[in-house]
């Protein structure tokens, strides 16, 4: 049935500090796409947008940041993508809101996209569209693009003061977006004093790196870290001398010519970086593409602790059951004989199998044993550590969740990396595989309600969910989102301890000498 639409300079215009913007309204939700929140020269800190006269259109998503490599289209049924024209001048944000009344003061939810710090965009996943979350939750939803990979995170500070913070300008873009939100979101019905960051994978890492960024203090008030805590991903204080030198040499430049890196075409720069960086990394050096501790960024809280301000931010942290298990679903997996399953398990877990089997059955009694092959150790082990540290060191509450749904692919496949996102955004109807009659609507209501409650009040409690306490020292209360949601305490502690002993290897880390590189890229 036809939806209610309006787009006019009389009815769908919002006034920002820079000038007026024309968006559109659909079924009661106003949308503004492609708002320029900052400008920036390559490797340099972002600057404010100049004021302008008249009305500008905010009716098209803005450029997304160029990537180091083009994506290969696959797994769309599991993680449906959107792509967009690219340009490094990519500081754009999108807003969805139920109101343009400056007194409405609705909670603001700012989504930070995944893709490590190297790829992705504010519209990469089909489910990133903010209208249905805004409508269901009566909240203002913001999504944003910022500089990525070498454009956002290549430390050239050794070569020129001009690039003093080039290692973090991607994060600096986000801080500029938060300042823009602080200054302007009231005009979109939002409350600048109630801003929640939420992000998945790299987006989750962005949440906790921004918590430890003093310039962002006071610009956001809560954080949700979805599948964003992973060991061995973020580096400590280091410098970009080695990668910078290799890059300059590859491009036939000497150190005094570092300024030329600003003007050579991105494609040429990316090609050179892709060529030299594996060697530099093998030699044990930093190669960029992640935030680096310096005067501007305090550093990874797991290494340097939380800032005083970061301790005041309520956080929700979680991951999903299967994460990096993107292998094809196994037809008839529930009917396989225990003998065959044990054989498969032994191949993967060697001598640890029997211990793992009993611990897995305790942690996940409803799951078939074969799913022990899929259970994620990477995010889960690191998240448990992060949660415990957070509870020990911070006064603000820390909530834990685990997304444990089985999806209708073949006879069923355990939740993979990114698979909770359509539920958060109330967009399961836009992602084919996420429609499970009798199940997905209810779970969507439960999950989306929890996120919205957390954004509104700092607690994910919701009438449609069991009581959900914050974690305590030594006691991880985890909301397990599944066909029946329940809260359990330290439900997989033993399982994770044993999995740690198996020394699991991240599929996307560079292959060791002689090993095949599977080319997996973090989303």
Footprint of its own copies (CB under 8 A): 1-10, 24, 26, 31, 33-34, 57, 59-63, 70-77, 82-86, 267, 331, 408-411, 428-429, 432-441
For residue 12, the minimal CB distance to its own copies (Å) is 10
For residue 83, the minimal CB distance to its own copies (Å) is 4
Give the strand pairing for 398-403 and 24-26: unpaired
For residue 57, the minimal CB distance to its own copies (Å) is 8
Dihedral sign, Cα of residue 197, residue 198, residue 204, residue 206: negative
Q: Whose Cβ is closer to its own copies: residue 27's or residue 295's?
A: 27
CA distance 13 to 168: 34
Angle between helices 202-211 and 169-184 (to 10 degrees): 70
CA distance 144 to 262: 24
Q: In whole angstroms, how far apart are CA 41 and each of 90, 91, 230, 241, 323?
A: 11, 11, 31, 21, 36
Provide Rg for the chain, Cα atoms.
23
Q: Whose Cβ is closer to its own copies: residue 399's or residue 423's?
A: 423
User: 488, exposed or middle or buried, with CB in 10 Å at 0-12, 13-18, 19+?
Assistant: middle
For residue 467, the minimal CB distance to its own copies (Å) is 27
**Residue environment code for 367-381, b if the CB has 16+ CB neighbours within 10 A, otherwise e:** bbbbbbbbbbbbbbb
For residue 322, the minimal CB distance to its own copies (Å) is 17
- Among 357, 381, 370, CA closest to 505: 381
Give the strand pairing for 92-97 and 140-144: antiparallel
Element (H, E) at 339: helix 338-349
Q: Are 110 and 181 in contact, with CB atoms under 8 Å apart?
A: yes
For residue 439, the minimal CB distance to its own copies (Å) is 7
For residue 59, the minimal CB distance to its own copies (Å) is 4
Q: At CB < 8 A and 24+ separation, what contacts does 255-262 make?
A: 255/159, 258/156, 258/159, 258/160, 258/163, 259/160, 259/162, 261/42, 261/43, 261/156, 262/41, 262/42, 262/43
Q: Whose Cβ is closer to its own copies: residue 34's or residue 204's?
A: 34
Q: Whose Cβ is closer to its own copies: residue 408's or residue 469's?
A: 408
User: 192, exposed or middle or buried, with CB in 10 Å at 0-12, 13-18, 19+?
Assistant: middle
How many other CB atoms sit within 10 Å of the CB of residue 508?
Answer: 17
Q: Are 317 and 400 in contact, with CB atoms under 8 Å apart?
A: yes
For residue 174, the minimal CB distance to its own copies (Å) is 21
List the structure tokens of 335. Answer: 């009917």
Q: Whose Cβ is closer to its own copies: residue 85's or residue 232's?
A: 85
Q: Whose Cβ is closer to its own copies: residue 59's or residue 342's?
A: 59
For residue 9, the minimal CB distance to its own copies (Å) is 6
Q: Whose Cβ is closer to its own copies: residue 304's or residue 436's?
A: 436
Q: In whole angstroms, how far apart are CA 247 and each of 42, 230, 235, 271?
A: 16, 28, 20, 10
Q: Concatenate the DSSP letters of all residues of 227-291 into one string.
A: S---TTSS--S---HHHHHHHHHHTT--GGGGGGGGTS-HHHHHHHHHHHHHHHHHTT----SS-
For residue 512, the minimal CB distance to its own copies (Å) is 29
Q: Whose Cβ is closer to its own copies: residue 2's or residue 512's?
A: 2
For residue 368, the minimal CB distance to its own copies (Å) is 17
**Any idea what the Cα angle at residue 474 is, between residues 197 and 448, rounded to 5°?**
30
Q: Whose Cβ is closer to its own copies: residue 73's or residue 365's?
A: 73
For residue 265, the minimal CB distance to its own copies (Å) is 10
Q: Whose Cβ is closer to its own copies: residue 255's or residue 429's?
A: 429
For residue 298, the minimal CB distance to its own copies (Å) is 36
Q: Whose Cβ is closer to its own copies: residue 77's or residue 101's?
A: 77
Q: What are the φ/ψ torsions at residue 472 (nearest 5 degrees)?
A: -130, 165
Q: Whose Cβ is closer to its own copies: residue 78's or residue 452's?
A: 78
CA distance 303 to 311: 15
SS3 string of 22-60?
ECEEECCEEEEEEEECCECCCCCCCECCCCCCCEEECEC
Q: Whose Cβ is closer to its own copies: residue 251's or residue 439's?
A: 439
């Amino acid at each position: 049935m036809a939806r209610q639409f309006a787009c006019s300079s009389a009815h769908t215009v919002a006034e920002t500090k820079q000038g007026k913007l024309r968006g559109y309204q659909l079924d009661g939700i106003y949308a503004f796409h492609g708002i320029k929140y900052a400008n920036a020269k390559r490797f340099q800190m972002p600057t404010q947008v100049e004021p302008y006269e008249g009305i500008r259109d905010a009716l098209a998503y803005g450029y997304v940041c160029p990537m180091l490599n083009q994506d290969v289209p696959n797994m769309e049924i599991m993680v449906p993508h959107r792509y967009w024209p690219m340009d490094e001048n990519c500081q754009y944000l999108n807003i969805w809101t139920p109101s343009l009344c400056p007194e409405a003061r609705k909670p603001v939810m700012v989504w930070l996209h995944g893709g490590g710090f190297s790829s992705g965009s504010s519209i990469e996943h089909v489910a990133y569209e903010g209208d249905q979350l805004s409508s269901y939750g009566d909240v203002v939803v913001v999504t944003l693009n910022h500089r990525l990979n070498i454009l956002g995170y290549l430390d050239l500070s050794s070569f020129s003061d001009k690039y003093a913070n080039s290692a973090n300008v991607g994060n600096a873009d986000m801080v500029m977006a938060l300042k823009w939100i602080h200054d302007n979101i009231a005009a979109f019905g939002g409350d600048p004093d109630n801003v929640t960051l939420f992000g998945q994978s790299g987006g989750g890492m962005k949440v906790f790196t921004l918590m430890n960024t003093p310039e962002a203090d006071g610009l956001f008030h809560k954080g949700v870290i979805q599948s964003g805590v992973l060991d061995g991903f973020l580096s400590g204080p280091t410098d970009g001398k080695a990668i910078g030198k290799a890059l300059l040499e590859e491009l036939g430049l000497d150190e005094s010519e570092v300024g030329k890196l600003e003007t050579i075409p991105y494609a040429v720069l990316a090609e050179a970086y892709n060529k030299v960086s594996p060697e530099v990394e093998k030699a044990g050096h930093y190669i960029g593409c992640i935030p680096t501790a310096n005067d501007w960024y305090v550093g990874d809280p797991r290494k340097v602790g939380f800032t005083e301000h970061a301790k005041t931010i309520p956080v929700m942290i979680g991951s999903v059951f299967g994460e990096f298990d993107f292998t094809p679903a196994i037809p008839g997996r529930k009917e396989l004989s225990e003998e065959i399953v044990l054989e498969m398990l032994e191949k993967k877990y060697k001598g640890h199998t029997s211990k793992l089997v009993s611990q897995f059955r305790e942690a996940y009694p409803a799951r078939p044993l074969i799913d022990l092959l899929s259970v994620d150790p990477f995010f889960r082990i690191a998240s448990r550590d992060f949660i415990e540290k957070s509870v020990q060191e911070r006064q603000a509450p820390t909530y834990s969740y685990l997304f444990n749904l089985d999806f209708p692919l073949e006879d069923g496949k355990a939740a993979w990396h990114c698979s909770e996102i359509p539920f958060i955004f109330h967009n399961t109807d836009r992602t084919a595989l996420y429609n499970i009659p009798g199940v997905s609507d209810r779970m969507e209501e439960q999950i989306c309600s929890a996120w919205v409650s957390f954004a509104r009040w700092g607690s994910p409690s919701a009438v449609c969910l069991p009581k959900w306490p914050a974690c305590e020292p030594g006691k991880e209360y985890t909301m397990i989102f599944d066909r029946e949601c329940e809260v359990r305490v330290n439900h997989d502690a033993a399982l994770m301890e044993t999995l740690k002993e198996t020394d699991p290897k991240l599929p996307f880390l560079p292959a060791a000498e002689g090993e095949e590189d599977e080319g997996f890229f973090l989303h």
